[in-house]
C-alpha cells in the first residue's frame, strides 16, 4: 500500500522567515496531494492541494511543489506569522470518479516565534 513520509516532525522559525515541509510517497498511482493545517483542538482543514499533472501551485504565502519522478512534494510558507503555528499534514491520494483513499504523513508541528 501507499506509504507517506513527512519531515521534519517539528519545525521552529522566527516570524517572517520561511518554512519548508517535505513529503515522499511510494505509490505511483497517487494523483492528488493535499496539505492540511490542524490547529490545537480543531479539525484538519485543507490549505492547498496539487494534482499529479501540475508541478507547482501558489496561493498567497503558501506554495506546493511536486516532483512525480522522485515521488516527493513540498509545502513552502513564506513570511511566516504566529497564526501559522499548527500541525501540518501532507497526504497522497488515489482519486477516481467515485472513490479516493488518502494516506497521510505523520505531521509537522510548526512553531512561529514572534
d(CA 14, CA 2): 34
Nearer to other proteins, 42 or 58 (CB): 42
Min separation Cβ 57 and other proteins, Å: 12
Nearer to other proteins, 60 or 98 (CB): 98
Min separation Cβ 16 and other proteins, Å: 28
Nearer to other proteins, 39 or 79 (CB): 39
Min separation Cβ 114 and other proteins, Å: 25
d(CA 1, CA 52): 18
Give exposure, 77-89, as e/b (b: 16+ Cβ within 10 Å): beebeeebbbbbb
Query: From the centroid of its chain, how far is CA 52?
Result: 14
Min separation Cβ 15 and other proteins, Å: 25
Nearer to other proteins, 6 or 65 (CB): 6
Alpha-carbon distance values, 23 to 35, 41, 75 (Å):
10, 24, 9
Binding footprint of other proteins on the chain (CB under 8 A): 1, 6, 32, 34, 42-46, 49, 51, 89, 91, 95-107
Amino acid at each position: 500500500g501507499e506509504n507517506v513520509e513527512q519531515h521534519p516532525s517539528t519545525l521552529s522559525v522566527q516570524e517572517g522567515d520561511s518554512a519548508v515541509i517535505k513529503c515522499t510517497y511510494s505509490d505511483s498511482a497517487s494523483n492528488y496531494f493535499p496539505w492540511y493545517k490542524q490547529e490545537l483542538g480543531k479539525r484538519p482543514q485543507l490549505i492547498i492541494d496539487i494534482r499529479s499533472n501540475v508541478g507547482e501551485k501558489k496561493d498567497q504565502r503558501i506554495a506546493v511543489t511536486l516532483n512525480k519522478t522522485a515521488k516527493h512534494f513540498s509545502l513552502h510558507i513564506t513570511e511566516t506569522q504566529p497564526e501559522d503555528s499548527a500541525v501540518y499534514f501532507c497526504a497522497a491520494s488515489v482519486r477516481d470518479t467515485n472513490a479516493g483513499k488518502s494516506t497521510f504523513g505523520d505531521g509537522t508541528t510548526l512553531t512561529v516565534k514572534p
